[in-house]
Amino acid sequence: MEGFLTVSDTAYTLFRDDYKVPLLPPEFAAHMATYAKHLFPILLVLGLCTRLSALALLGMTAVIRIFVYPAAWPTHLTWAALMLYLIGRGAGPLALDRAFGMK
């Protein structure tokens, strides 16, 4: 059954054979990457836990940059700049962070 957070067999194969992230078992890394790439962007769009979400995505970008696609630095630099802005400035005035009194 395929669902929103279902990890495909292809993802397991990629983490096992291609990505080879050190220190993490491929199955665990596949699950963590799947959850992170779905959860944190949704939180950013809502403006909820903006700084934490941006920090998590910056960490994921760093892992991708260092271990998976080291030659894709222009794309990763763009992602990093956007995440650093959100970490530094926080959410905008219409974000749920502001509605809940978080900065």
Q: Kindly list the domain boundaries of the chain, sorted by start residue.
A: 9-99
| Amino acid at residue number 3 | G
H helical segments located in the chain = 9-13, 26-46, 50-63, 73-89, 96-99
8 Å CB contact between 61 and 76? yes
Answer whether residue 1 shows pLDDT above 80. Answer: no
The verdict on pTM exceeding 0.75 is yes
Per-residue pLDDT tens over the stretch 44-83: 999 999 999 999 999 999 988 888 888 888 899 999 999 9
User: For the purposes of burial, counting CB atoms within 10 Å of the CB of 16, is it exposed (0-12), middle (13-18) or buried (19 or more)?
Assistant: middle
Q: Which two tokens stand for residue 30?
A: 């596949």
State the pLDDT at residue 70. Answer: 87
Answer whether residue 7 shows pLDDT above 70. Answer: yes
Q: Mean pLDDT throughout 83-89?
A: 95
